[in-house]
Homo-oligomer: A and B are copies of this chain.
């Protein structure tokens, strides 16, 4: 079984020190990190913390939001942070319309990648465009499908611009399996989360641990592994009820959920 990477957003309120200690104790050797808790603890300190615990960082979230005024400097800083943490991929949530038409907003994402790709190559970190579920197109990311994300990658080598593939965002897509098969080299980070209905009032925080919802994980996991994907697989779940529980319990349930869909 590919090793699990525990994305710390799954236990949003668990302090970074506890996340690292918990993973160490549970035999989880990989973590996905977020910029805010890393900044809070200190970048150099965070890097030392995970390194001293023998953990590797599979991704840092998030860059993107190309509609924001400071997008260029902010994304360069995020790439620097990845490099210092040893994270191979910067997850890009590319931003919604910000008052533009869809075509213009997508053009801005493409221009942003063009501006950042050389620096990504310089620091050895992949800009990992995350296609997001189309219910987030207006306000969170205009990159709405794996097909659209791959088109954005196309001008660049896979080391510079790749994909964050999250089952929650792409499971519904009729084209996802053949597109994975044909573009395995683009997958910089693979994340698991489940689709649960009904959606809650805030649709951002209604995801489920793998196996608790409607996603058929087996074909998706098999398609990714068949491409030769050799990195750990993250579980990243935004769920208010889950977040409200103790971090140790969340980690334990995450491990069990991961194993249940990977066997």
Q: A139 near B: Cβ within 8 Å?
A: yes
- Write out, one digit per residue, whether chain A residues 206-226 have a CB within 8 A of any chain B CB (1) or not (0): 000000011010010000000
Dominant secondary structure at the A interface: loop
Contacts of A244 in B (CB 8 A): none
Number of A residues near B (Cβ < 8 Å) is 31
A148 and B135 contact, CB distance less than 8 A: no
Q: CA–CA, A94 to B124, complex, Å?
A: 46
How many monomers of this protein are in the complex?
2
A214 and B173 contact, CB distance less than 8 A: no
Nearest CB of B to A96, in Å:
8
A144 partner, pick from B106, B173, B197, B213, beta carbons under 8 A? B173
A214 and B147 contact, CB distance less than 8 A: no
Q: CA–CA, A103 to B138, complex, Å?
A: 28
Q: A175 near B: Cβ within 8 Å?
A: yes
Residues of A in contact with B (beta carbons under 8 Å apart): 97, 101-103, 106, 133-135, 137-139, 144-145, 147-148, 151, 171-175, 195, 197-199, 201, 203, 213-214, 216, 219
